[in-house]
Structure 1
Amino acid sequence: MFLLIFILVLVVVFSYLPQYSPLISKHISKRLFKITDEELNLRTQVKDLKTQQESISVTDHFAKYFKLQRQIDKLLDNVKGKANARLQKTTMVTMAVKISIHIIHILFMLSLILSYRREPLLVMPAQWFTPLAKLIAFPTGIAGGVGVTFWILACNTVVQKGRRLAGV
């Protein structure tokens, strides 16, 4: 009975886990790809130049104003380049987390199927499953038994239908 509930919990967890992969990857990315001191210095330089530019009148000191504007634009391009590089790495982490979740799910289910392929999870009277007895007992072949493969498929179906009804 414990194994039946355990498989149901695994199916529920692995059906909702992909939804949280952006959150998981966000935390991983924050730890791996921090804003560098160089980027922080560039940002402070941009702020300083903008305050300096605001103190200058455009009409009185046209050349000096646009010289500062070119410096600001150059620094902003550098900052954007560094931010884009960090964003690309974050996107790769997000994809890796999603793929990892699916691989772990597959490995868990395969290991359960291979571990319990010879013994049924639950044995009931064979008459209850008369037309579908062999399908339900797969891969054990024991009449009246509920095989792990059938139980995983049943749990998956129930969880997916429940999610659709709940609108998740």
Structure 2
Amino acid sequence: MIEILNGFLLIYFLILCSLSALVPILVKPIVACFSRPSYEERKLWDEILTLKNEQKEISMKDEFAAYSKLQRKINKLESELKENSQARLSKSIAVKGTVHIVLQAVIAFIVIISVICFRREPIVALHANLFPFSTILKYPSETPNAISTHMWVIMSNISIRTLLKPIVP
């Protein structure tokens, strides 16, 4: 039987551990805001499509010079577009790494500060005696057969990451 001694802290640390485990999923929409194609890239893409449509209307056999001229323009624009998209991709990777590290650091900082502030608060109490583990589980709390904040965070983190392993890459 389990008795919840501090429900607020129980939920609080579950949410923090869940957020920490879900950071890779949370990073994707944030990075998507920064890595959208620019106006120039969209304009280049539209121009390429227009030139390709013009090229389809020209007979390659009858007007080879005009067809080749359009093909050279298309190739030039496609190489420009490729360079721009590679630059955007490298920027996106840098932003993704930075956002991931910052989010993990902020959540870790909040968890550490919270564990320090609530270190003597027991989260749950067990009615059974878990000797020899009861001393480790309750430290630094003085409540017998309790699970301290430290242990609750460790157990929650391991449990949540194990449960979310199939979802989170």
TM-score of the two chains, using structure 1 as the length reference:
0.79
Contact 2:9-2:123 at 8 Å conserved across structures? no
Q: How do 1:10-159 and structure 2 match up within 5 A?
A: 10-26=16-32, 28-29=33-34, 34-36=37-39, 38-117=40-119, 119-122=120-123, 124=125, 128-138=129-139, 140=140, 142=142, 144=144, 145-159=146-160
Larger helix fraction of residues: 1
Q: What is the aligned-residue identity percentage?
A: 25
Question: What is the root-mean-square deviation of aligned Cα atoms in Å?
Answer: 2.5
Contact 1:123-1:146 at 8 Å conserved across structures? yes
Q: Secondary structure at the match of 1:146?
A: strand
Larger strand fraction of residues: 2
Higher RCO, 1 vs 2 (CA within 8 Å, ≥6 residues apart): 2
- Structure 1 gaps, min length 5: none
1:16 shift after superposition: 2.5
- Which letter does structure 2 place at the counterpart of 1:8? L
1:40 shift after superposition: 3.4
Q: Identify if the C-alpha distance between structure 1 residues 48 and 125 changes in structure 2 by more than 3 Å, giving closer, same or farther.
A: closer
1:162 shift after superposition: 3.3
Alpha-carbon distance in structure 2 between the residues aligned to 1:6 and 1:73: 56
- Which letter does structure 2 place at the counterpart of 1:90? S
Report the count of equivalent residues. 160
TM-score of the two chains, using structure 2 as the length reference:
0.78
